[in-house]
Amino acid sequence: MNNGNNRINIKIGLKVEIVQKPHQRSGQLTIGIVSRILTNSATHPHGIKVQLESGLIGRVKNIL
């Protein structure tokens, strides 16, 4: 279920899987709760950039 490319699908408090910048090649995903939405545009081809409650920043790959 990959709707992580459209900002309208991302809400604060959602549980998501993100890929962090250092993990883009390996594709390692991190699960967390969205605390901030950092991408201003409506869509992004690599996923909307968010900050999780844990403080980690990455692009949304999946909405759980």
Give the pLDDT of residue 11. Answer: 95
Q: Which domains does the chain have, with CATH numbers?
A: 7-63 (2.30.30)
Taking the C-alpha atoms of residue 22 and residue 42, their distance in angstroms, rounded to an integer, is 24
CA distance 39 to 5: 10
pLDDT at 3: 78
Give 19's contacts (C-beta < 8 A, 6+ positions apart). 27, 28, 29, 30, 47, 58, 59, 61
Write down the pTM of the prediction.
Answer: 0.91
- Whether residue 60 contacts residue 50, with contact meaning beta carbons closer than 8 Å, is answered with yes
Does residue 31 sit in helix, strand or coil? strand
Provide the pLDDT for residue 2.
63
pLDDT per position in the chain (64 positions), as tens?
A: 567 899 999 999 999 999 999 999 999 999 999 999 999 999 999 999 999 999 999 999 999 9
Residue 50: strand pairing partners:
37, 58
